[in-house]
A and B are shown apart, each in its own frame.
Chain A
Amino acid sequence: MIKNCRKYLTFGWVLLLLYACSDTEAPDKPFGFEKPEHFPEPTYTFENNPVTKAGFELGKKLFFDPMLSRDNSVSCNNCHQQSRAFADTPLHATSIGIDNQFGIRNAPSMANMAFMQEFFWDGGVTHLDFVPINAIESDIEMGESLANVVEKLNNDEEYPALFQAAFGVSEITSPFMLHALSQFTAMMVSANSTYDKYVLEGQPLTELEMAGMNLFQQKCAACHQGELFTDFSHRNNGISSVFGDEGWATITEDPSDIGKFKVPSLRNVEITAPYMHNARFNTLEEVLGHYDGNMVDSPSLDPMFKNGGEVVGIPMTEEEKVQIIAFLKTLTDHDFISNPLFRNND
């Protein structure tokens, strides 16, 4: 009987909620996350953290708020800028954080995080919610402890009411702060480039771009695969033979993985220079020059770049490189980098 009683109770509440909600013209609807038609299913756990207007706006405020750092000097936006598809500016090869310290890794674009299986160059984080903890607690990024940030937020004049509105909580705790940041981040879907218009609407590419796309399919898509341009694997593409940063081996603790890094998405790659985990290259021409003839051998170099014992890389003519670069530039999503939705309100 007790059980049955509960069932009725829940039923009653659900009815009540439904009716109460239908009264207010579903204010959160425009903020619902939408998967682009040609993308894979999102990996983000929206069922635990549905995107709402209040949650998204709160996440945005946090993203632009230097209060998240120890000396209130660094915000997420310092290293992730909309005009760069939320990668860092080329001025900061590897990101600069608190006390002007240099990080060891290049800040990647935050586009399409809702579809990724792993985060960071070494793939060490497996859920988007946990990503900001690293930024906040890293000595060289924001140098702050999560507990202090939560305390600062609770003592702030504005945040408690905003968390109350977004999540119905009277006390701010770290999971709700992380959920707000994830709501903002998960909405950063970039799927409206020239390439997408070709795929979805058949808008033609130029001859040069088409030639580049065909070459890309042959030479690059084994790793930079599918609509996200990554197969989510970890590989060594021969940029070095000594790895101070061990990459994937940090997570697998296997020496044979030293030098392997996550295959990055190439969406918006035109505007996310410099390139590679250690910001090794400044231009796409340098990147293609690397794949063509400058690859360095090491035990974990991807077998795809070898023929027998010989490092062959990806042979390309100068003309082919021009074509491939023309194609890579069709991946730039100008709507995304100018979308007012992601702009700072203040």
Chain B
Amino acid sequence: MKFLKFTAILSLTIFLWSCDNDDSPSPEETGSFQVYFDNKVGSNEVNLTAPGDKNYQYETANGEKFNVSMLGYYVSKIVLEGPNGEYYADEMDASAADSKGYYHVMEGESATANIQIENVPAGTYDRVTFTIGVEEDGVQEGAAGGVLDPANGGWFWNWNAGYIGFAIEGTAENSQQEYVDWGNGASTEEKTFALHVGGWKDVADNENFVNNVRTVTLDFGTTVTVGDGLSPMAHVVTDVLKMFDATNIDFNTTYSVHAPKAGAPFANVLEQIFVVHHVHQSTSSHD
């Protein structure tokens, strides 16, 4: 047995060595690509304020005044495509060790806004596709680590197992939320709102199940080149005001959304709130 182990290690060494030796310039050149998520309320930057802050900074088209205290979403299944058939799908693997290909973009945590994709085949690209939320294949594989880990900031619904794909919380002038003391040091402030969009079940012939996971495809309107030493970026703007305007939100009745059906109207407009603002050929020039 010892001998076999030795043989195995020897053969591994030979493989390693042969790899090293053959490492001539590769015809399969790759590069990186960055997707940058820039959250906005209309043309304004998002300025997070504490829940209950009644000094309203924003207003919907219908005159609903509000603030934002928390905003975030899961981005997954990123795909890049180009005019000549270029295609690259970010590797996906939700496992206990990590959740590869899942990103949790959180307003106020700037590092989460920059999604860096490596090993993209060299070429020109003019389109990005991504999914907001976590689809069935990310839920039904069981407990997952990384950004999906519920003990580490993952947004997990215990009672109706699955992940919240998109969430925005804040304070609104017309919200009917009353102050609640939860008795364990936690409380809900007056006039706050919380919209949690989740739900991933697709059941044939059963409209009771709403799948609120949405896939968004955005054209760059131009091409960027991926290759050795290049690091292009797509600057995506996420405008939450569009979500409120497109759903004609009335905070008087809609201030507490925590179930799939109630979240459906917001999921249905998700595609409209993302836009590629511009692309850069090089990351360093990013503003």
A and B are interacting partners: yes
Chain A residues proximal to chain B, CB less than 8 Å = 1-3, 5, 8-9, 11-13, 15-16, 18-20, 22-23, 45, 48-49, 124-130, 133-134, 137, 139, 145-147, 149-150, 167, 169, 173-176, 178-179, 182, 250-254, 257
Top 9 closest pairs, chain A to chain B, by CB: A12-B12, A174-B151, A175-B143, A175-B96, A129-B142, A129-B143, A178-B143, A252-B208, A5-B19
Closest chain B CB from A166 CB (angstroms)? 11
> Is the contact region of chain A dominated by helix, strand, or loop, or is it mixed?
helix
Closest chain A CB from B95 CB (angstroms)? 6
Is B24 on the interface with A (CB-CB < 8 A)? yes
Interface 9-residue window, one of B60-68, B157-165, B168-176, B268-276: B157-165
Q: Specify which chain A residues have a CB less than 8 angstroms from the CB of B7 in the assembled complex.
A: 19
What per-residue 1/0 map shows which CB atoms of B150-188 lie under 8 Å from chain A? 111000101111100000000000000000000010000
Number of B residues with CB within 8 Å of any CB on chain A: 48
Which residue of chain B is the closest to A47 with respect to CB atoms? B141
Using known A-B contacts A9-B15, A19-B5, determine if residue A179 contacts B139 with beta carbons closer than 8 Å.
Answer: no
Interface centre among A1, A18, A150 (most CB of B within 10 A): A1
Q: Specify which chain A residues have a CB less than 8 angstroms from the CB of B260 in the assembled complex.
A: 253
B12 and A15 contact, CB distance less than 8 A: yes
Complex: how many Å from CA A11 to CA B15? 9
Q: Specify which chain B residues have a CB less than 8 angstroms from the CB of A133 in the assembled complex.
A: 150, 156, 158
Q: Specify which chain A residues have a CB less than 8 angstroms from the CB of B262 in the assembled complex.
A: 253
Which residue of chain B is the closest to A15 with respect to CB atoms? B8
Within 8 A of A (CB), among B122-155: 139-145, 149-152
Q: Specify which chain B residues have a CB less than 8 angstroms from the CB of A130 in the assembled complex.
A: 142-143, 156, 158, 161
Q: Specify which chain B residues have a CB less than 8 angstroms from the CB of A5 in the assembled complex.
A: 19, 22-23
Given A173-B96, A173-B149, A173-B152: 4 more A-B contacts, CB < 8 Å? A15-B11, A16-B9, A175-B97, A250-B159
B12 and A146 contact, CB distance less than 8 A: no
Enumerate 17 A-B pairs (CB-CB under 8 Å) in ascending A order.
A2-B30, A8-B18, A9-B16, A12-B8, A12-B16, A15-B8, A16-B5, A20-B5, A45-B140, A45-B141, A124-B160, A126-B140, A126-B162, A133-B150, A174-B151, A175-B142, A175-B144
Using known A-B contacts A125-B161, A129-B143, determine if residue A19 contacts B23 with beta carbons closer than 8 Å.
Answer: no
A48 touches which one: B1, B96, B139 (CB < 8 A)? B96
Which residue of chain B is the closest to A127 with respect to CB atoms? B142
Which residue of chain A is the closest to B27 with respect to CB atoms? A1
Interface centre among B23, B143, B201 (most CB of A within 10 A): B143
Q: Specify which chain A residues have a CB less than 8 angstroms from the CB of B161 in the assembled complex.
A: 124-127, 130
Chain B residues proximal to chain A, CB less than 8 Å = 1, 4-5, 7-9, 11-12, 15-16, 18-19, 22-24, 26-28, 30, 95-97, 139-145, 149-152, 156, 158-162, 184, 201, 206, 208-209, 259-262
Which residue of chain A is the closest to B25 with respect to CB atoms? A1
Using known A-B contacts A12-B11, A178-B143, A251-B160, determine if residue A167 contacts B96 with beta carbons closer than 8 Å.
Answer: yes
Q: Specify which chain A residues have a CB less than 8 angstroms from the CB of B261 in the assembled complex.
A: 253
Q: Specify which chain B residues have a CB less than 8 angstroms from the CB of A129 in the assembled complex.
A: 142-143
Complex: how many Å from CA A174 to CA B144? 8
Q: Specify which chain B residues have a CB less than 8 angstroms from the CB of A150 in the assembled complex.
A: 151-152
A20 and B145 contact, CB distance less than 8 A: no
Closest chain A CB from B196 CB (angstroms)? 14
A2 and B9 contact, CB distance less than 8 A: no
Complex: how many Å from CA A12 to CA B16? 9
A252 and B26 contact, CB distance less than 8 A: no
Closest chain B CB from A141 CB (angstroms)? 11
Which residue of chain A is the closest to B201 with respect to CB atoms? A126
Q: Specify which chain B residues have a CB less than 8 angstroms from the CB of A16 in the assembled complex.
A: 5, 8-9, 12
B209 touches which one: A18, A49, A145, A252 (CB < 8 A)? A252
Using known A-B contacts A2-B28, A173-B151, determine if residue A124 contacts B142 with beta carbons closer than 8 Å.
Answer: no
Q: Specify which chain A residues have a CB less than 8 angstroms from the CB of B151 in the assembled complex.
A: 145-147, 149-150, 173-174
Complex: how many Å from CA A141 to CA B11? 54
Closest chain A CB from B212 CB (angstroms)? 12
Complex: how many Å from CA A2 to CA B158? 42
Which residue of chain B is the closest to A123 with respect to CB atoms? B160
Q: Specify which chain A residues have a CB less than 8 angstroms from the CB of B24 in the assembled complex.
A: 1
Complex: how many Å from CA A19 to CA B12? 12
Complex: how many Å from CA A174 to CA B150? 7
Q: Specify which chain A residues have a CB less than 8 angstroms from the CB of B97 in the assembled complex.
A: 169, 175
Q: Specify which chain A residues have a CB less than 8 angstroms from the CB of B158 in the assembled complex.
A: 125, 130, 133-134, 137
Closest chain A CB from B21 CB (angstroms)? 10
Which residue of chain A is the closest to B96 with respect to CB atoms? A175
Using known A-B contacts A45-B142, A130-B143, A169-B97, determine if residue A8 contacts B15 with beta carbons closer than 8 Å.
Answer: yes
